[in-house]
Amino acid sequence: MIKKDTPNGTKEQKKDPNSKIDLQTGSGGELHQTAGGTHPELTTNQGVPIFDNQNSLKANPKGPTLLEDFVLREKITHFDHERIPERVVHARGTGMHGFFELTKSLEKYTTAKILTEVGEKTPVFTRLSTVAGGAGSIDTPRDVRGFAVKFYTKEGNWDLVGNNIPVFFIQDAIKFPDLVHALKMEPDRAFPQAATAHDTFWDYISLTPESMHMVMWIMSDRTLPRSLRMIEGFGVHSFRLINEAGESTFVKFHWRPKLGLQSTVWDETVKISGADQDFHRRDMFEAVEQGSFPEWEFAVQLFTEEDAEKFPFDHLDATKLIPEELVPLKVIGRMVLDRWPNNFFAETEQVAYCAANIVPGIDFSNDPLLQGRLFSYQDTQLFRLGSPNFHQLPINAPKCPFGNQQRDGYMQMEQPDGRVSYEPNSLSEKSARETPTKGFHSADVTETGNKGRIRPERFADHYSQARQFYISQTSYEQAHIASALVFELSKVEHEHIREAIVGHLRHINEDLASRVAEGLALKKMPDAPVAAAPPQEMEASPALQIIGKMKDTLEGRVVGILVADGSDGDVIKELEKAIVKAGANIKIVAPKIGGVKLADGTMQTADKQLAGAPSALFDAVAVILSDQGAKQLMNESVAVDFVTDAFVHLKAIAFDSGGKVLLKKANVKSDPGIVDANDKDAFIAAAKTRQWDREKSVRILA
Ligand code: HDE
């Protein structure tokens, strides 16, 4: 669906219902009549109307351009300054507006209004990102996804800046610049972009055993999400909630997608990256445009200091998670993203998250990774946005009243009046004062001990939870982890690095280590490095699987139907009806974008042209062809690949008699996912899942 543009040339402005700022600024001067209708006047930034925006001012028709052309100078100068530094990590991101609604009060634990006022809808801006690549990199590398939410609460902005993985690579913030330098493109050759499959990353990991738990997560299909609507989110660190009596309780925050978890398989991901670099951003855009708003449950794990003492790990170590079996999740709300930004730069690029933005009733823990983050975000925004007044940008400004005596600085947009710019003062009744009763209070904790560059003893166990993660996976997921490790390490040129990683794997699981060693054709099994004895074996936690958390639904999925001239319109229509009823979208794929002539002579329009729409872009496919259509497509490698790929990506395939011919050419073997197009129920059931058992017949896994 293409939205009609408004006369000023911009897409119709969707007014931010919560903003007091007029978003119309910059849309043009006074209205005037033109041949094309009524338009605002095009003006310079000084409001001077422009009569010719196509020709610069020249000394004569063939002469040089004149320096006095302020219209040209202003336009080019502004253009020259359009870019700002991209984020040093998480540069590629997609942001959306929405709301958070509390469904259960945490009144017993906190005074924060956002966590106590049931039914209240708090506006949010959420940015989902990849980590390693630049702003223009692909949406689908094997990478962690950032999950940053800015809640515009009544008591100020709360930023929960999390990831789609509940743990992190390192335990202490001082290591972060090294980690990021190692994982980004190598500095001399400037590649690979957005990929960890290279020497410097794995070299650093091999020397940083605390990262092995995170390595298990990033080598799992969690880093290959099918859609950003199908990822979980985690606050990662422990935070504190503080109640009316000043008592504090530890909390971990979780987001759980309404559509369930779903990932792609690696070969599919690689093909998606080629076919649609904006796969995830486009999916989000289309979902919001269509009114299928991305939604997550918000849940907490609550525990006391005494509970924490009994855990067989230190919850202040960000390389550890708290298994749901140990502290169950309590669902307390939901987030719905229902509004696409008006402008990418103004909102998604300029949004400035800060892990230190919290509100009364919530506080930080002593997690040393979190403590470093509390400094880093404000610092990076000052550099990126260039002024201490970045909080005044509409996307960053609180939606509650705010103000103080901070003044001036680059790009000050406010015009405070009066002679007073300090507090306390006796000269102005209007000026803002402290509010001792309801202002932000830190948790009342006592700190003792000796200063030093030290880590708590319990941080020394680096493998127990990595082991727990691995044993919690289904056999299919374990095979994917092993294969991902083989893939990544095969791109590592230095043998000693490959061996060192396999050495670490031996502490996690001997079978995994052997599979990877074999996949790399190592001459002998490397020694495992010296490691601290685990305090306690962790039991398997099925909540750590992806397959177990896939939802039995077609909602949010897309089925591609391959057609050609002569296809049976009735079969297509019937199939379409059943698929749409089950909640999925349909894309008709045809050799030509203009569509095809069906068997009954009517025209079927196409959504996608075959060459640009490989089956990797769909969750399931149907191949509906006449004999003549099948004959034609047998000689079209893209059509054969369409079917082969759907098969090797473990997808459901529906076919009719013509389709069957193409399936045969593509070497498709019968299994429960290969279904007659007339058996719609069987197709819908198969399309809801992947045919995991098929995998061993189409791929040699490690
Ligand atoms: Fe970040 N991180 N980070 N990070 N992070 C940034 O801030 C940093 C960490 C996360 O969509 C930067 O605005 C340090 C963990 C997200 O705009 C920077 C450390 C988690 C985003 C920064 C960490 C995150 C960022 C870069 C170790 C999950 C994107 C640009 C102490 C809990 C936010 C920017 C967005 C962005 C620093 C580790 C999540 C440099 C120093 C752990 C989702 O400030």
> HEC profile for 655-698?
ECHHHHHHHHHCCCCCCCCEEECCCHHHHHHHHCCCCHHHHHHH
Is 32 among the domain residues? no
Is 571 among the domain residues? yes
Asked if residue 161 and residue 50 are part of one domain, the reply reads no
CB 473, CB 213: distance < 8 Å: no
From 80, 109, 136, give the residue that closes a domain: 80
Residue nearest ligand 1's atom 7 by CA: 377
Ligand 1: residues with CB < 6 A are 87-90, 93, 127, 129, 146-148, 161-163, 168, 173, 176, 236, 318, 353, 369, 372-373, 376-377, 380-381
Is 129 among the domain residues? yes
- Where does residue 246 rank: exposed (0-12), middle (13-18), buried (19+ CB within 10 A)? exposed
User: Ligand 1 centroid vs 89 CA: distance in angstroms?
Assistant: 7
Is 259 among the domain residues? yes
Left (φ > 0), alpha (ψ -120 to 50) or beta: where does 403 sit? left
Query: For 66-114, what is each residue's pLDDT tens digit?
Result: 999 999 999 999 999 999 999 999 999 999 999 999 999 999 999 999 9
Atom of ligand 1 nearest to the CA of 128: 11
What torsion, rounded to 10 degrees, do the Cα atoms 25, 26, 29, 34 define? -120
What SS3 class is residue 303?
Answer: strand
Six-digit token pair at 239? 């935070």
In the chain, the largest separation of any two C-alpha atoms, in whole Å, equals 90
Asked if residue 161 and residue 46 are part of one domain, the reply reads no
Please choose from 181, 239, 252, 377 the residue to mutate so as to test ligand 1's pocket, defined by most ligand atoms within 8 A of CB: 377
- What's residue 17's pLDDT? 55
Q: Is the ipTM of this complex over 0.90?
A: yes
Is 409 among the domain residues? no
Q: Which residues 6+ apart lie within 8 Å of 474 measured at CB?
A: 545, 547, 548, 692
> Over the chain, what is the mean pLDDT?
95
Which among 631, 634, 573, 622 is positioned nearest to 598, based on CA atoms? 573
Is cis: bond before 192, omega within 30 of 0? yes
Asked if residue 155 and residue 47 are part of one domain, the reply reads no
* Position 33 pLDDT exceeds 90: no
- What's residue 26's pLDDT? 64
CB 197, CB 491: distance < 8 Å: yes
What torsion, rounded to 10 degrees, do the Cα atoms 509, 514, 517, 520 define? -110
From 367, 392, 417, give the residue that closes a domain: 392
Q: How far apart are CA 615 and CA 647, in angstroms?
A: 9
Residue with tokens 């509010």: 435
Query: For 580-606, what is each residue's pLDDT tens digit?
Result: 999 999 999 999 999 999 999 999 999
Q: How far is CA 155 from the centre of its chain?
A: 27
Among the listed residues 8, 97, 157, 163, the single catalytic one is 163
Six-digit token pair at 161? 């800046």
Asked if residue 337 and residue 254 are part of one domain, the reply reads yes
Asked if residue 671 and residue 584 are part of one domain, the reply reads yes
CB 97, CB 337: distance < 8 Å: yes
- What's residue 536's pLDDT? 82
Mean pLDDT of 50-66: 97
- Where does residue 544 rank: exposed (0-12), middle (13-18), buried (19+ CB within 10 A)? buried
Is 408 among the domain residues? no
Q: How far apart are CA 187 and CA 475, in angstroms?
A: 38
Asked if residue 341 and residue 247 are part of one domain, the reply reads yes
Q: Pairing state of beta strands 653-655 and 620-624?
A: parallel
Residue nearest ligand 1's atom 18 by CA: 377
Please choose from 237, 358, 376, 396 the residue to mutate so as to test ligand 1's pocket, defined by most ligand atoms within 8 A of CB: 376
Six-digit token pair at 628? 């003549």
Q: Which domain holds residue 667?
A: 555-698
Q: Pairing state of beta strands 31-34 and 233-234?
A: unpaired
Share of the chain above pLDDT 70, in %: 96
Asked if residue 232 and residue 116 are part of one domain, the reply reads yes
Mean pLDDT of 337-345: 98
CATH number of the domain where residue 630 is located: 3.40.50.880
Active site residue 462: no
pLDDT band per the 50, 70, 90 thresholds, residue 12 = very low
Higher pLDDT, 614 or 32: 614
Asked if residue 324 and residue 239 are part of one domain, the reply reads yes
Q: Which helix (H) or strand (E) holds 434?
A: none
CB 165, CB 218: distance < 8 Å: yes
- Where does residue 443 rank: exposed (0-12), middle (13-18), buried (19+ CB within 10 A)? middle
User: Ligand 1 centroid vs 90 CA: distance in angstroms?
Assistant: 7
User: Ligand 1 centroid vs 235 CA: distance in angstroms?
Assistant: 11
CB atoms within 10 A of CB 463: 22
Q: How far apart are CA 261 and CA 259, in angstroms?
A: 7
* Position 11 pLDDT exceeds 90: no
Mean pLDDT of 559-583: 97
What SS3 class is residue 253?
Answer: strand
Active site residue 90: yes
CATH number of the domain where residue 108 is located: 2.40.180.10
pLDDT band per the 50, 70, 90 thresholds, residue 16 = low
Q: How far apart are CA 658 and CA 622, in angstroms?
A: 11
CATH number of the domain where residue 62 is located: 4.10.91.20
CB 622, CB 575: distance < 8 Å: yes
Asked if residue 106 and residue 60 are part of one domain, the reply reads no
Buried b / exposed e along 488-519 (16+ C-beta atoms within 10 A): bbeebeeeebbbbbbbbbbbbbeebbbbbbeb
Q: How many domains does the chain have?
A: 3
What SS3 class is residue 180?
Answer: helix
Q: How far apart are CA 380 and CA 676, in angstroms?
A: 56
Is 414 among the domain residues? no
Query: For 492-517, what is each residue's pLDDT tens digit?
Result: 999 999 999 999 999 999 999 999 99
From 392, 415, 433, give the residue that closes a domain: 392
φ, ψ at 396 (rounded to 5°): -100, -20
